[in-house]
């Protein structure tokens, strides 16, 4: 089956179509198969240059994109702001243009400020450069590759041979934690409501403003907000916990971590009200014993956290491959 793909940049999931979600799932499935072989490399992006421009700290996303690019045989440039010309006063746009002049074909960009990947993509388009920009997390805005790997993890759990967006229709998914500061939540809200899932958000009122109901407007799925945990967990098929992003909490938004864990922490006991076979997700990094109890986090019967990381490589291979103009994996 031929996959049609026309998008050059991946900056947001707000306007992703069901066909695009399914193209990513199907392509990632082929790459998961490649990663299971003895020789885990394909020549698909040989000669292409991928630049990892991470202006904000990252462990899994940066390494995952690096490994994905290497498995596709691309050449990869890594960039660390602290040891770069940014320290000499170079602007972010000039950093991007320098990478362009070196023949970079794809730029994977993470920045602490929302909109930076879009600004760079717009400027490179204006210059007529045929470069692709992939948003690897911008401020509190979006983190598309994380939501796509979450989608792949969920859909392959339902059908490991044929993951499709439609498989999440009517599934109850609880998203719990620091939703206010979470770009992961925002990207997931686009994908999960596109999948016609029933999404329940739960957090203390200071971390879940009413405005979030906006994401459910005129979408196939349902979006329901709760300021208590139990109604979100009741009969849930999946529970996604989010890290308390203390580095972004400028005001005192929470009483204490202990109290947060008592009211919103996910534990074995609390999961008893969910569907049998409920699974938990977390994008990482985890504050152990805060968002999820330490025992639950390490319980392979419930936790999909390691699968999310593994899925991330196949999904990012798929994204790099598709935006590079690949038609069939």
Q: How far is the CB of 276 from ligand NCD (least distance, A)?
A: 28
Considering only residues 119 to 148 of the shown chain, the ones binding ligand NCD according to CB under 6 A are 137, 143, 146
Quick one: 221 or 312, whose CB is closer to ligand NCD? Answer: 312
Close Cβ partners of 116 (under 8 Å, ≥ 6 residues apart): 55, 92, 109, 138, 139
Quick one: 245 or 273, whose CB is closer to ligand NCD? Answer: 245
Q: Do the beta carbons of residue 232 and residue 199 sit within 8 Å?
A: no
60 near ligand NCD (CB under 6 A):
yes
DSSP assignment letter at 160: S
How far, in Å, CA of 194 to CA of 204, rounded? 26
Token pair listed for 293: 């109890």
Quick one: 48 or 61, whose CB is closer to ligand NCD? Answer: 61
Q: How far is the CB of 170 from ligand NCD (least distance, A)?
A: 27
Q: How far is the CB of 212 from ligand NCD (least distance, A)?
A: 17
Given candidates 32, 243, 279, 316, which one binds ligand NCD under the rule CB under 6 A?
Answer: 243
Quick one: 104 or 187, whose CB is closer to ligand NCD? Answer: 187
Q: Give the rounded distance of the alpha carbon of 10 from its chain centre.
A: 12
Q: For residue 264, give the H/E element and its range.
A: helix 257-264
265 near ligand NCD (CB under 6 A):
no
Token pair listed for 101: 């002049």
Quick one: 63 or 98, whose CB is closer to ligand NCD? Answer: 63
Quick one: 61 or 132, whose CB is closer to ligand NCD? Answer: 61
Considering only residues 284 to 313 of the shown chain, the ones binding ligand NCD according to CB under 6 A are 284
How far, in Å, CA of 265 to CA of 241, rounded? 9
117 near ligand NCD (CB under 6 A):
no
C-alpha distances (whole Å) from 124 to each of 8, 95, 101, 211 are 12, 12, 11, 33
Token pair listed for 329: 């994996």
**Which residues form the interface with ligand NCD (CB under 6 A)?**
60-61, 137, 143, 146, 183-184, 243, 245, 283-284
């Amino acid at each position: 089956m031929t996959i049609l793909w026309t998008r050059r940049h991946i900056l947001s999931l707000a306007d992703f179509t069901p066909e695009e979600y399914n193209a990513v799932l199907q392509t990632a499935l082929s790459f998961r198969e490649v990663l299971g072989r003895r020789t885990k490399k394909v020549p698909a992006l040989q000669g292409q240059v991928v630049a990892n421009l991470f202006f904000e700290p990252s462990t899994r996303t940066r390494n995952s994109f690096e490994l994905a690019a290497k498995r596709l045989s691309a050449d990869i440039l890594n960039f660390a702001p602290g040891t770069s010309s940014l320290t000499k006063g170079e602007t972010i746009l000039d950093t991007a243009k320098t990478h362009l002049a070196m023949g970079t074909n794809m730029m994977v960009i993470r920045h602490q400020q929302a909109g930076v990947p879009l600004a760079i993509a717009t400027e490179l388009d204006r210059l007529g450069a045929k470069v692709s920009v992939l948003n690897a997390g911008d401020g509190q805005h979006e983190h598309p590759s994380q939501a796509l790997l979450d989608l792949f993890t969920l859909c392959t759990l339902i059908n490991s041979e044929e993951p499709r967006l439609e498989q999440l229709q009517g599934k109850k998914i609880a998203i719990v934690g620091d939703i206010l500061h979470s770009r992961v939540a925002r990207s997931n809200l686009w994908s999960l409501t596109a999948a016609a899932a029933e999404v329940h958000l739960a957090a203390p009122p200071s971390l879940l403003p009413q405005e979030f109901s906006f994401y459910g407007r005129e979408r196939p799925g349902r979006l329901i907000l709760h300021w208590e945990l139990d109604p979100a967990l009741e009969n849930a098929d999946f529970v996604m916990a989010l890290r308390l992003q203390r580095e972004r909490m400028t005001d005192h938004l929470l009483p204490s971590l202990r109290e947060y864990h008592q009211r919103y922490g996910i534990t074995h006991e609390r999961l008893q009200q969910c569907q049998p076979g409920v699974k938990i997700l977390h994008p990482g990094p985890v504050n152990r014993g805060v968002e999820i109890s330490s025992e639950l986090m390490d319980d392979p019967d419930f936790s999909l956290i390691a699968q999310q990381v593994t899925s991330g490589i196949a999904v990012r291979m798929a994204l790099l491959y598709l935006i590079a103009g690949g038609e069939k994996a």
